[in-house]
Amino acid sequence: MTLLLGRHEFPDDATLMMAIVNRTPDSFYDRGATWAEDQAFDRVGLVVEQGAEIVDIGGIKAAPGVEVDAAEEIRRVASFVARVRSAYPSLVISVDTWRAEVARVVCAEGADVLNDAWGGADPGLPEVAAQAGAALVCTHTGGVVPRTRPHRIEYADLMASVLADTVAYADRAVAAGVDRRSVLIDPAHDFGKNTHHSLEVTRRLGEMVATGWPVLVSLSNKDFVGETLDLPVGERLTGTLAATAVAALHGARVYRVHEVVETRQVVDMVNTIAGRRPPARAVRGLA
């Protein structure tokens, strides 16, 4: 299905890199490396140069921590979205927020995508996306409260829950007026899930793709990779890329990443092996 992300349209065979830009002082991965606005802006320039089609700007880390209210989240991201929009008019700008209040402000500043990592915790988000002509990412979190870690969470049938919740959220978004081409679904690895759950949704990702909704995955340096390989944050790239290869083979469309170049190479290689993409060049044995 053709993707419509705000003002930007992508053909149905396009796979997209969504580069993470954290406007937080306490991110689990970069430890505040892009907390300062100029450093965050430099990060945008770098990932654009590396070929990212989307940047995903977030003002609150997902894990528990210092309380960040809506006003502070807006202060962290809204003017930065406006700066990025002005400098990169053809770049897709996503904002990682679950709050309709924040979403309304960032869309007015030029955001194209609302990445709701918390599965519809604020029921007003689809309406904001519809009014702004923005795309919406619909995730599965098992109903956990935003910024809480799962504790002994159980599912009678994990994939049934993932499919039911994401598809229902996607349908609500369309009913609220969001263009069907502007809705993506995301299993939300680690969110409302233990490591066994995240591994299962990875190997069964094809079931999400089969719904017809474009699938976004956020695998980069997640805890399920670290626990699987017993590796700390900062040493999970190889495991992340292995999970990425599986997601690509199943047909994921958008990849939320820290490492743009490495992820693009893995996704392109897998899609070429799968017959969905031609080699960039093929002269061996022909010249």
35-49: buried (b, 16+ CB within 10 Å) or exposed (e) per residue? beeeebbebbeebbe
Asked about 222 being catalytic, the answer comes back as: yes
Asked about 193 being catalytic, the answer comes back as: no
**Is residue 189 a contact partner of residue 216, using CB atoms and an 8 Å limit?**
no
- How far apart CA 217 and CA 220 sit, in angstroms, is 9
Sequence-distant (≥ 6) Cβ neighbours of residue 114 within 8 angstroms: 94, 95, 97, 103, 106, 107, 125, 128, 129, 134, 135, 136, 137
CA distances from 165 to 101, 116, 120, 134, 140 (A): 23, 13, 10, 21, 6
Say which of 99, 222, 253, 264 is annotated catalytic. 222
- How far apart CA 216 and CA 10 sit, in angstroms, is 14
| Cβ atoms within 10 Å, residue 157 | 9
Q: Which two tokens stand for residue 162?
A: 């993932």
For 45, left (φ over 0), alpha (ψ -120 to 50), or beta?
alpha
Tell me which residue of 53, 113, 50, 116 sits closest to 259, measured CA to CA.
Answer: 50
Half-sphere exposure at residue 244, Cβ-oriented, CA atoms within 13 angstroms? 32
Say which of 23, 99, 253, 256 is annotated catalytic. 256
Task: Give the catalytic positions in this structure.
Answer: 222, 256
